[in-house]
Amino acid sequence: MGVHCSTLMKSSLTRRKALQTAGTLLLGSALGAEPPKAKRIVVVGGGIGGLSCAFELMERGHDVTLLEGSRRTGGHVKTIRDPLPDGLYADVGAEHFTNPGYVEYRRYVEKFDLPVLPWARRQNMYRKIDGKWYTEEQLADKAVLSAFGFNAREVDYIREHGWRELPMMYLAPYVAKFKDEYQPFGVGMDDYDHMTLGDVLADVEISTAAKRSMGLQLSKPGDKPHGGSSALYEIWQTAVPKMRGLPMFKREVFHLKGGNQLLPDTFAEKLGDRVHRNTEATAIEHDAHSVTVHYKHEDKEHTLTADHLVLCVSPMVLPRIKISPAWPEDKAFALQNTPMGMQSRVLLVTKDAFWKGDVPSINLETGDSKMSLVYETASDVPGQRRVLMGSGLPVQTPEDTIAAFRKFYPGRNEPTIEQCVVHEWWKEEPLALGCERHPFPFGQLAKIWPRLIEPVGRIHFAGAAFDNLPWGQDAATRSANRVAKQIHAA
């Protein structure tokens, strides 16, 4: 059963808001002040970032038009039912939200009184390490941790705080220096952008097991590590959740009953005919006074001029849109060097819950890139058939996926797999390229941040790639609200 917000509380808040609004208007009138002038705004991109930004601007009384190039709104928030049987469903994009955390996202869930289900996908996880499976209880056992090679201090810390929090044992003094979660510079560690975390902690007594767990690497003087990110980036990304009062690994996760697409669909319903699907922006012209968007709808070219433009599309998609005048050099660098990840979403439809009583948990960390995580979804749907979900490579076949699962499945029972669905985003949603943002390249943080999220004149940027933490729906809704406030105050 879904959990709904209290209707009585909601009504009370609505009345209170109305009284506050009326009071503000009367006060403004008495002082001779005028309400903010309505602005004409175009939002390009109908993912949850674009939808929530458009909704916020509409709520503030602005004239908003949203252009979405594909046939549907929602972007990477996508729930599918077909071809799943028996009323089963799966979120093949953004799969969950947390509490605490996801403040703006949860505000909308409460505002629209959407049904919420707790999700046990991060509880009682069963993890494969060096070819052997371990329960959470085993990974908190002193003897097991010592056998991995953790030193005595690390063993005690892990047992008290958990594996995911181990970096804080060593990074806490550095994390404490940050005061503004959007500003990683000016706290005495700017040169760490040209050092690895291993370099910074080189003189600290850390076990080989902890170095491996934290992914530490050392670079020779003058060398540039192959891949990876800088110490400054890693410490900053550790600091932001701590500044928000969040754990590094959030076990309490939730999803919307019936699928997370319920929220973007609600936004689209509220926005009504302000949303234009199958309408792809092709070019942008901008100056100090306005922005003109050229777009294609039903093979016909159109133009729309506005006071402000909000781009809510992935940096991987932006090159499809011609910009005139061109982006400033530093903005172009930031957009071109922001790495975005791609993965497929893998679904296994099974005849029954064959894993129950066979393995300690079906919440698996497999170490296999064809299905790196495994967990059950749509458990609220009655019936024998079940759906297991996970993340795979950008391109892989159902046959390879099933073979991988059968190989790593740690139980004795025969998996009763009836169907495999591999949702490849690059094929299904060509305008939704890139999932979450990856770490910024080594030594490039100062060239990318905060230029990436800053407006260019009257052009603003929002979406999952344009916030300080690349946490999907959280980043999208946070950045959308930030931009809406900027435009309203302009």
Q: What is the pLDDT of residue 427?
A: 83
Element (H, E) at 126: strand 126-129
Q: What is the pLDDT of residue 206?
A: 96
Q: Using 50, 70 and 90 to split pLDDT, how confident is the model at 316?
A: very high
More confident residue, 221 or 132: 132
DSSP-based three-state secondary structure for 121: coil
Task: Please give the C-alpha separations between residue 215 and each of 196, 198, 210, 234, 244, in angstroms, as whole numbers.
Answer: 10, 8, 8, 11, 24
Q: What are the two backbone dihedrals, phi and then psi, of residue 40, each rounded to the nearest 5 degrees?
A: -95, 120
Task: Give the residue carrying structure tokens 């990876």.
Answer: 228
Decide if pLDDT at 350 tops 50.
Answer: yes
Q: Using 50, 70 and 90 to split pLDDT, how confident is the model at 58?
A: very high
Element (H, E) at 210: helix 208-214
Q: How far is it, in rounded angstroms, from Cα 399 to Cα 395?
A: 12
Q: What is the pLDDT of residue 28?
A: 43
Q: Using 50, 70 and 90 to split pLDDT, how confident is the model at 24?
A: very low
pLDDT tens digits along 215-250: 887 555 455 555 579 999 999 999 999 999 999 889
pLDDT tens digits along 421-440: 999 987 878 888 887 899 99
Q: What is the pLDDT of residue 197?
A: 95
Q: What percent of the chain has pLDDT over 90?
A: 86
Q: What is the pLDDT of residue 35?
A: 64
| Angle, CA 325 vertex, CA 324 and CA 329 arms, to 5° | 125
Q: What is the pLDDT of residue 219?
A: 54
Q: What is the pLDDT of residue 228?
A: 78
More confident residue, 6 or 190: 190
Domain covering 78-123+343-432, topology: Polyamine Oxidase; Chain A, domain 2 (3.90.660)
**C-beta neighbour count of 405 within 10 angstroms:** 22
CB 284 within 8 A of CB 301: no
17, with CB counted inside 10 A (0-12, 13-18, 19+), is exposed
Question: pLDDT averaged over the chain?
Answer: 91
Decide if pLDDT at 33 tops 60.
Answer: no
Decide if pLDDT at 11 tops 80.
Answer: no
DSSP-based three-state secondary structure for 387: strand
The half-sphere exposure of 204 on its side-chain side, counting CA atoms within 13 A, is 19
Q: What percent of the chain has pLDDT over 70?
A: 91
Q: What is the pLDDT of residue 433?
A: 81
Decide if pLDDT at 466 tops 70.
Answer: yes
Decide if pLDDT at 205 tops 80.
Answer: yes
Q: What is the pLDDT of residue 99?
A: 94
Q: Using 50, 70 and 90 to split pLDDT, how confident is the model at 2?
A: very low
Decide if pLDDT at 7 tops 70.
Answer: no
Q: Do domains 38-75+264-340+437-489 and 78-123+343-432 have the same CATH topology?
A: no
Second-level CATH architecture of 38-75+264-340+437-489: 3-Layer(bba) Sandwich (3.50)
Question: In terms of Cα–Cα distance, which of 401, 406, 435 is closest to 421?
Answer: 401
Lowest mean pLDDT among 296-300, 319-323, 381-385: 296-300
Decide if pLDDT at 210 tops 80.
Answer: yes
Helix axes 166-175, 152-161, angle to 10 degrees: 90
Q: How far is it, in rounded angstroms, from Cα 313 to Cα 324?
A: 18
Residue spans per domain, the chain: 38-75+264-340+437-489, 78-123+343-432, 136-243
pLDDT tens digits along 367-378: 999 999 999 999
pLDDT tens digits along 151-195: 999 999 999 999 999 999 999 999 999 999 999 999 999 999 999
Q: Using 50, 70 and 90 to split pLDDT, how confident is the model at 34?
A: low
pLDDT tens digits along 397-409: 999 999 999 999 9
pLDDT tens digits along 61-103: 999 999 999 999 999 999 999 999 999 999 999 999 999 999 9
